[in-house]
Amino acid sequence: INSDKVNFLLGTYATNLVEAQSAAAEQNQMLYVNGGGAASAIYKRGYKWVFGLLAPVELLAESMMKWVDEQQKGGKLPKPAKIALLWENTSHGKDFRKGVSEFAKKSGGGYEVAVDESFELNGKDFSALLGKVKAANVDLFLADAHLPDHITMHRQYVTSGMCHKISSYGARGSEKQAAEALGKKNVEYVLSAVWWSPLLAQKSKLDKEFVDGFKAKHKREPEWYQALGYETARALFTAIEQAGTLDKAKVREKLVAMKIPSILPGGELTFPAEFGQQSHAPFVVQQNQPDGSAPIIAPADSATGKGVAPNPNCGK
């Protein structure tokens, strides 16, 4: 910050990195806009100079559980449903755990968390953890993992012969890398909740412009984290343009007051003060289908397809 004499900080990917970098930014009173830190702990420290575009992981878990609950109320899932809850030992994972656990507690006996276990990032062997899941005979397998752990864990999950009525790895599962690494058949009906989907281009002109522009340049569809990178830069650049200066205090004022049309679900970008300047845009819930697609299945106003519960592959 000081040796390079930077004006602003723009970044970065992964909650654990944003957590550390945001502390340095605050210490140096340097404006830091990020699209990769989702843990609410980052924004509960009273920081003035940090702004985040990722809504909290607690909301991710709640969004997913709302869809699951609709399936239970429709008689497609047992009541009570037993949950295996596996979460990475980070702020990100703890938020996911909190979101699922609180939903279960408020459900009036609809859900029972039968396995509640953490794991360390970049694991190589999840067999002991998965053994506990198998022994508990649960209905819902809900894990929170970053992509490398999702791939490693799910490969071992498939090898173990398990199949659950609902399986999810939080925000992971719809990525092309996961299907390529695990085989398309092995990721069918995996549920995920994400901060953005290219399918939103079917619902929004702004999203369509972004998706078309990205595809023209890179010859492929963008993933959610690329969309968040774009929108993070757009937020900072918009604030600079509105301020008409590189004075960080004046640019900060524009971010505090920001309320602009957005490619994020819900169509609007704000940084609410009550949430420590962390966006609370809604999530979209997706489910992998046998044809390789992952339509948005919730919320209803963003849906591009219907989800399936329970997993029809179980028992085959």
The pLDDT score that the predictor gives to residue 15 is: 82
Mean pLDDT of the residues in the chain:
96
The pLDDT score that the predictor gives to residue 106 is: 97
Looking from the CA of 135 toward its CB, the CA atoms found within 13 Å total 7
Tens of pLDDT along 238-279? 999 999 999 999 999 999 999 999 999 999 999 999 999 999
pTM summary value: 0.89
Peptide bond just before 80 cis, omega within 30 deg: yes
The pLDDT score that the predictor gives to residue 315 is: 76
Domains and CATH numbers, the chain: 9-56+225-275 (3.40.50.2300), 58-198+285-298 (3.40.50.2300)
Q: Which residues contact 241 (CB under 8 A, 6 or more apart)?
A: none
The pLDDT score that the predictor gives to residue 149 is: 96
Cα dihedral 51/92/113/195 (nearest 10): 60
Token pair in block for residue 97 = 């755990």
Tens of pLDDT along 88-101? 999 899 999 999 99
- Between CA 71 and CA 186 the distance in angstroms is 22
The pLDDT score that the predictor gives to residue 316 is: 64
The pLDDT score that the predictor gives to residue 217 is: 98
What stretches in the chain show pLDDT beneath 50? none
- Between CA 95 and CA 99 the distance in angstroms is 6
What are the start-end ranges of the H helices in the chain? 15-27, 57-73, 91-105, 127-136, 147-159, 176-182, 205-218, 224-243, 248-256
